[in-house]
Amino acid sequence: MTLRFSINPARPPRAGRRATALLAAALLAIVSGACGGPAATQAPAATAPAAGSPAAVAPAALPAEIDVAEAVRLQGAGAFMLDVRQPDEWAAGHIEGATLIPLGELASRAAEVPADRQVVVVCRSGNRSAQGRDILLGAGLPSVTSMGGGMNAWTGAGQPVVTGP
């Protein structure tokens, strides 16, 4: 059996462990099916993925938008809090434990957002976070939502903020 690969320069390959794992799984499926034998006709036994591997955790899907109370609950459950505002807005007050990636940089830095955790995107009022959510979903992250009302709603609900860089 001969496998051929070609690279389309107009469409660069995706980088990252997840893409590599998917490619490896696809090649294994092709080789198993082409070689015949029991592996080609029987489903493999289920095995647990290695801890820390991209397939180890399959975060539950999230609605497009959530409120502050749900954001607080998700944060407590370990969600990745992503702030897409500008650095000066961030310094004026942000959610403790959140990560700052300004919206204008998000598409090129999407690999910095963990794919194995639920992601809550936050901005000032909810407009940029909805755009950020869509960028991350388009980049293949499986579980991303936007916090409606943004930091305005967060502080309005009496939730704590951290100031400074």
Residues 42 and 72 in one domain: no
The parts of the chain modelled with pLDDT lower than 70 are 1-58
Range of the domain at 22: 14-49
Element (H, E) at 106: helix 103-109
Residue 3 lies in a domain: no
Domain shared by 70 and 25, yes or no: no
Residues 69 and 38 both lie in one domain:
no
Domain termination residue (choose one: 49, 73, 92)? 49
Answer yes or no: do 29 and 83 share one domain.
Answer: no
Residue 131 domain flag: yes
Same domain, 114 and 36: no
| Per-residue pLDDT at 71 | 96
Residues 92, 37 share a domain = no
- Statement to judge: residues 32 and 77 lie in one domain: no
User: Helix, strand, or coil here: 98?
Assistant: coil
The answer to whether the CB of 144 falls within 8 A of the CB of 71 is no
CA separation for the pair 66, 52 (Å, rounded) = 27
* 4 is a domain residue: no
pLDDT tens column, 53-77? 444 455 778 999 999 999 999 999 9
- Asked whether the beta carbons of 159 and 68 are under 8 A apart, the reply is yes
Q: Is residue 120 included in any domain, yes or no? A: yes
Q: What is residue 58's predicted lDDT score, i.e. its pLDDT?
A: 59
For residue 144, give the CATH number of its domain.
3.40.250.10
Which residues have a catalytic role annotated?
123
pLDDT at 57: 55
Which residues sit opposite 37 in a β-bridge? none
Global model pTM greater than 0.75: no
The pLDDT assigned to 165 comes to: 81
Q: Could you give the number of structural domains in the chain?
A: 2
- Residue 18 belongs to a domain: yes
